[in-house]
Structure 1
Amino acid sequence: MLIEISDHLRGYFYDVFVTRFDFWLVFGILAQLVFGSRFILQWVASERAGKSVMPLSFWFLSILGGLMTLAYGFVRKEPVIIIGQGLSTGIYLRNLALIFRERRRAGGG
């Protein structure tokens, strides 16, 4: 039974990562790496500050990774990705707008 499960998993991963290998798979993986890198950036910034901080670059990586993942979702016709990244990217853009508005106010303008 264990060998049967192992063979099934091997076949599954072969199908997902080898049989379906194309430009868009590489693009989707790259999109996830860009999107995930924002957490590493936030962690490093927080460690340096000695407290939890959210650097501006976190939001730019969120938008870039989100748009890349959204493009992947459209090409692959994945409604879960389209809905999730469509809504999330809108929220990231709104956060940037709020940050820039707050900076303008703080600057006296």
Structure 2
Amino acid sequence: MSKAEIGILTLGFSGQALFFMRFFIQWIHSERHRRSIIPVAFWYFSLGGSSLLLIYAIIRRDLVFIVGQSTGFFIYTRNLYLIHREKSAQDSPQPGQGAQE
């Protein structure tokens, strides 16, 4: 096996490891809270895993895998955007809630 092939396999397995971690993190988080919860880390691991697997799929020229990972990439990015937008809205003062004079 060539160094390039080993590098490509390492990339693919790294993406799979990140995908595994998202489920592991979600499981541990839910167990701690005794209910099903999806922590923000889930979406970051999803985005990281999807990115690496998309690169892997492009290198392998696997159209089915490319379409699947690019769709996931969009969904994970959108979820992170919505989470950060909601957090920003909660952190910013609402009209009429400014500093007391």
TM-score (norm 1): 0.77
What RMSD over aligned residues (CA atoms) do the two structures have, in Å?
Answer: 1.7
Distance 1:27 1:107 in 2: 38
Aligned residue identity for 2:92 = G
| Residue identity (%) | 37
Residue in structure 1 matched with residue 61 of structure 2 by the alignment: 77
TM-score (norm 2): 0.83
Aligned residue identity for 1:37 = M
Q: Deviations over 1:37-71 (max 9, x none)?
A: 10000000000011111111111000000000000
Q: Deviations over 1:77-98 (max 9, x none)?
A: 0111110000111110000111
> Following TM superposition, where does structure 1 have runs of at least 4 consecutive aligned residues deviating by more than 4 angstroms?
none
Aligned residue identity for 2:51 = L
Structure 2 counterpart of 1:41, from 2, 13, 25: 25
Residue in structure 2 matched with residue 99 of structure 1 by the alignment: 83
Which has more helix, going by share of residues?
Answer: 1
Residue in structure 2 matched with residue 63 of structure 1 by the alignment: 47
Relative CO higher for 1 or 2, CA cutoff 8 Å, sep ≥ 6? 2
Structure 2, gaps ≥5 residues long: 94-101
Quote how far apart the aligned CAs of 1:108 are.
3.1
